[in-house]
Chains A and B, each alone.
Chain A
Amino acid sequence: MNWFYFSSPSTFYGLAGRLAPWFFALAAVTAAWGLYLGLLVAPTDAQQGEVYRVIFIHVPTAWMSMFLYFVMACYCALTLIFNTRLSAMMARAIAPTGALFTALALWTGSFWGKPTWGTYWVWDARLTSELVLLFLYFGFIALSNAFEDPRRGDRAAALLAIIGVVNLPIIYFSVQWWNTLHQGSSVSFKGTSMHVTMLTGMLVMSFSAWMYAAGAALVRVRSIILERERRAQWVRDLRGA
Chain B
Amino acid sequence: MNVPSRGTYSGGFAWAMARDLRLAWRHPDEIILTLAFFALVASLFPLGIGAEPQLLARIGPGVIWVGALLAAFLALPGIFAADFADGSLEQMSLSPHPPLGWAAGKIAAHWIISGLPLTLMSPLIGLQYGLTADTLLVEAVSLALGTPILSLLGGACAALALGARGGGMLLALLALPLFVPVLIFGAGAAEAQATGLAPTPHLSLLGAALIAALVGVPAAVVAAVRISVD
**B137 interface hit (Cβ, 8 Å):** no
A215 to B173, CA, bound (A): 28
The answer to whether A159 touches B164, judged by C-beta atoms less than 8 angstroms apart, is no
Q: Is there a chain B Cβ closer than 8 Å to A135's Cβ?
A: yes
B160: which of A128, A135, A136, A156 is its contact (CB, 8 Å)? A156
A146 contact from B153, B170, B220, Cβ within 8 A? B170
Q: Which residues, 201 to 226 on B, are CB-close (under 8 Å) to A?
A: 220, 223-224
B165 touches A159 (CB 8 A): no
| Chain B CB within 8 A of A207 CB | no
Q: How many A-B residue pairs have CB under 8 A?
A: 56
Which of B26-34, B77-85, B177-185 is the interface stretch? B177-185
Most buried by A among B156, B173, B174, B180: B174
A143-B177 CB under 8 A given contacts A156-B224, A163-B156:
no
A152 within 8 A of B: yes
| Number of residues of chain B lying within 8 A (CB) of chain A | 23
Does any Cβ of A come within 8 Å of B127's Cβ? no
Is there a chain B Cβ closer than 8 Å to A160's Cβ? Answer: yes
**Does residue A54 face the partner (Cβ distance < 8 Å to B)?**
no
**Across the interface, which residues of B come within 8 angstroms of A155, CB to CB?**
227
A128 touching B180, Cβ below 8 Å: yes
> Within 8 Å of chain B (Cβ to Cβ): is A142?
yes
> Is residue B228 within 8 Å, beta carbon to beta carbon, of the partner chain?
yes
Complex CA distance for A173 and B56, rounded to whole angstroms: 34
Per a CB cutoff under 8 Å, which of A128, A139, A146, A156 touches B165?
A: A146
Q: Are A142 and B170 also in contact (CB < 8 A) when A147-B165, A156-B160, A159-B223 are?
A: yes
Chain A CB within 8 A of B163 CB? yes
Confirm or deny: B161 has a beta carbon within 8 angstroms of a beta carbon on chain A.
yes
User: A71 to B30, alpha carbons, bound, how many Å?
Assistant: 42
Which B167-200 residues have a C-beta within 8 angstroms of A? 170, 173-174, 176-178, 180-181, 184
Known interface pairs A80-B223, A159-B227; A138-B180 also in contact (CB < 8 Å): no
Residue in contact with A139 in the complex, picked from B156, B174, B184, B227, CB distance below 8 Å: B174
The residues of B that contact A78 with a CB separation of less than 8 Å are none
Closest CB in chain A relative to B210 CB, distance in Å: 14
Closest Cβ neighbor of B179 among chain A residues: A132
Expressed in whole angstroms, the Cα–Cα distance for A132 and B184 within the complex equals: 13
Q: Which residues of B contact A128 (CB under 8 A)?
A: 180, 184
Task: Assess whether A138 is in contact with B173, with CB atoms less than 8 Å apart.
Answer: yes
Contact A142 B181, CB 8 Å, known A155-B227, A156-B228: no
Contacts of A159 in B (CB 8 A): 156, 160, 220, 223-224, 227
- Distance of A40 Cα from B227 Cα, bound (Å): 53
In Å, the complex CA distance between A223 and B45 comes to: 48
With beta carbons under 8 angstroms apart, the residue of A136, A139, A142, A163 that contacts B220 is A163
**Contact among A80, A143, A170 with B164 in the assembled complex (CB-CB below 8 Å):** A143
Question: What's the Cα separation between A57 and B18 when bound, in Å?
Answer: 56
Check A160 against B174 for contact (C-beta < 8 Å): yes
Is A143 touching B180 in the complex (CB atoms < 8 A)? no
Q: Could you say which residues of chain B place their CB within 8 Å of the CB of A163?
A: 153, 156, 178, 220
Query: What is A's interface to B at a CB cutoff of 8 Å?
Result: 80, 128, 132, 135-136, 138-139, 142-143, 146-147, 152, 155-156, 159-160, 162-164, 170
18 A-B interface contacts by CB (under 8 A): A80-B223, A128-B180, A138-B173, A142-B170, A143-B161, A146-B161, A146-B164, A147-B163, A147-B165, A152-B163, A152-B227, A156-B228, A159-B156, A159-B160, A159-B227, A162-B220, A163-B220, A164-B178
- Beyond contacts A147-B165, A160-B157: 12 other A-B pairs, Cβ-Cβ < 8 A, are A128-B180, A135-B173, A135-B176, A142-B166, A143-B174, A159-B220, A159-B224, A159-B227, A160-B160, A160-B174, A163-B156, A170-B181
